[in-house]
Amino acid sequence: MSNPAPLPDFTHERVTTVTGSRSGLRITAALHSSALGPALGGCRLWTYDHWLDGVADALRLAQAMTMKNALADIGAGGGKAVIALSPGDVLDADRRRDALLDLGDLVESFGGAYVTTEDVGVTEHDMAVVHEQTRHVVGLPAEDGGAGEPAAGTALGVFVSIEQVLLSLFGSADIAGRSFVISGLGQVGSRLARRLADAGAVLTVTDINPSALAIADQLGATWIDADAAVSTPADVFVPAGLGGILTASVIEQLPVRAVCGPANNPLAERSGADALAAKGILYAPDYVVNAGGVIHLALTGRGDSPAEVEQRIRAIGGTLSDVLGLAALEGITPLDAADRIAHARVAAAR
């Protein structure tokens, strides 16, 4: 096993890592802030070179959830959980269930201060298993009375954000005829691609899973190799897979006018926001534009109607407008502007 990457700064209220009593897997729950309410954030089931890399991922993601939830204004703090698999570790159905039950025990130990839901590698049906051990979970299957899959809400939030980006760049929010490169056609990326196609966008798409080519064919989109996503010219690059795709070298040759997508942490380093700005590329901060899913989960869980939930998700466009306006006024990056607004809300709550 390789040495772990350095841990990020510890600014969290509580972080607990356990070895699951049933599964034997290292599971981390990180509560970054509860100033605005109980921490809400999903559980990621992923493979890491070292289990401490899973801890580091939970720390980073929990902090990002604090910022996302603050700007989404849902009365929730930030948290995240990670179930860390070792390279080559494949879960059969029984051990997967054991891992989810172990997660439920860990979440229950927070006494309601952290509420979990699905994230990468975890589904709404997995949440039903977690729910056997704790009531502090949202995103249960709709047939069980839960909020269901949040991907549609995430896709809608990114869609209205793209409209705002186009308005800022071109003076019109009209998507028809504008070109987009979408990297990732999973639950969110595929839904977003369909919305953009229906609005008349010119789409170029890719995914590491070759079966997604069928989605491209359905939408009349151009399919490219995954490696070509960051070198294909377009009005907007839409990162919709795992994070870290925008490295310094990628940004240097990125041939687009804007970056706006649902992927968490698409910037490999924070300095990437400055590099994008220096190139004249508008960056819509990920945790602003991809908040539709968490809004769906939080508001549906408290009993808001579908119409009320959709209205709040569509308001993400207005939030992004405020962020871009502050960035222009202060001469700072949109990421710095979003951070400033989020930090002010958390500080006021404290």
Are 338 and 226 members of one domain?
yes
Are 132 and 159 members of one domain?
no
Residue 2 has pLDDT above 70, yes or no: no
- Look at residue 3 and tell me if it is in a domain: no
- Look at residue 135 and tell me if it is in a domain: yes
The band of 242, judged by pLDDT with boundaries at 50, 70 and 90, is confident
- Averaged pLDDT, 108-137: 94
- Averaged pLDDT, 15-22: 98
Residue 155's nearest CA partner among 261, 259, 308 is 261
Are 172 and 88 members of one domain?
no
Pair of tokens at residue 273: 């926001």
Last residue of a domain, one of 144, 166, 186: 144
Residue 300's nearest CA partner among 139, 156, 192 is 139
Q: What is the per-residue pLDDT across 180-206, written as a single tens digit (0 to 9) for each?
A: 999 999 989 999 999 999 999 999 999
Identify the domain containing residue 241 by its residue range: 151-349
Are 234 and 282 members of one domain?
yes
Are 251 and 339 members of one domain?
yes
- Look at residue 140 and tell me if it is in a domain: yes
Are 59 and 170 members of one domain?
no
Are 169 and 108 members of one domain?
no
Laid out side by side, the sheet with 256-259 consists of: 222-223, 202-206, 179-183, 234-239, 256-259, 282-283
User: Distance (Å, rounded) from C-alpha 120 to C-alpha 162?
Assistant: 23
Neighbours of 12 (CB within 10 A): 19
The total of structural domains in the chain comes to: 2
Among 26-35, 149-158, 163-172, 315-324, which stretch is predicted with the lowest mean pLDDT?
Answer: 149-158
User: Distance (Å, rounded) from C-alpha 71 to C-alpha 323?
Assistant: 10
The band of 103, judged by pLDDT with boundaries at 50, 70 and 90, is very high
The band of 243, judged by pLDDT with boundaries at 50, 70 and 90, is confident
DSSP 22: T
Please tell me the predicted confidence (pLDDT) of residue 227: 93
Last residue of a domain, one of 144, 167, 191: 144
Q: What is the per-residue pLDDT across 224-233, written as a single tens digit (0 to 9) for each?
A: 999 999 999 9
- Averaged pLDDT, 317-322: 97
Last residue of a domain, one of 97, 114, 144: 144
- Look at residue 105 and tell me if it is in a domain: yes
User: Distance (Å, rounded) from C-alpha 173 to C-alpha 321?
Assistant: 12
**Backbone dihedral angles phi then psi of residue 198, each to the nearest 5 degrees:** -65, -25
CATH code of 293's domain: 3.40.50.720
Tabulate helix, strand, coil % of the chain (nearest 5): 45, 15, 35
Q: Coil, strand, or helix at residue 142? A: helix
The band of 166, judged by pLDDT with boundaries at 50, 70 and 90, is very high
Q: Coil, strand, or helix at residue 331? A: coil
Do 290 and 158 touch, CB atoms closer than 8 A? yes
* Helix H or strand E segment including 77: strand 77-85
- Averaged pLDDT, 341-349: 92
Please tell me the predicted confidence (pLDDT) of residue 1: 56
- Averaged pLDDT, 306-312: 95
- Averaged pLDDT, 308-319: 96
Are 140 and 172 members of one domain?
no
Are 109 and 189 members of one domain?
no
Please tell me the predicted confidence (pLDDT) of residue 240: 96
Residue 348, C-beta contacts closer than 8 angstroms, at least 6 positions apart: none
- Given 60, 80, 96, 296, the catalytic residue: 80
- Look at residue 8 and tell me if it is in a domain: no
User: Distance (Å, rounded) from C-alpha 276 to C-alpha 262?
Assistant: 17
- Look at residue 218 and tell me if it is in a domain: yes
Do 136 and 103 touch, CB atoms closer than 8 A? no
CATH code of 24's domain: 3.40.50.10860
- Look at residue 7 and tell me if it is in a domain: no
Are 317 and 171 members of one domain?
yes
Residue 314 has pLDDT above 80, yes or no: yes
Residue 302 has pLDDT above 90, yes or no: no
- Look at residue 2 and tell me if it is in a domain: no
The band of 219, judged by pLDDT with boundaries at 50, 70 and 90, is very high
Do 77 and 30 touch, CB atoms closer than 8 A? no
Are 167 and 295 members of one domain?
yes
Are 43 and 91 members of one domain?
yes
User: Percentage of the chain with pLDDT > 70?
Assistant: 99
DSSP β-ladder status, 222-223 and 234-239? unpaired
Q: What is the per-residue pLDDT across 262-300, written as a single tens digit (0 to 9) for each?
A: 998 899 999 999 999 999 999 999 999 999 999 999 999
- Class of residue 252 by CB neighbours under 10 A (exposed 0-12, middle 13-18, buried 19+): exposed
68 assigned to active site: no
- Averaged pLDDT, 57-62: 93
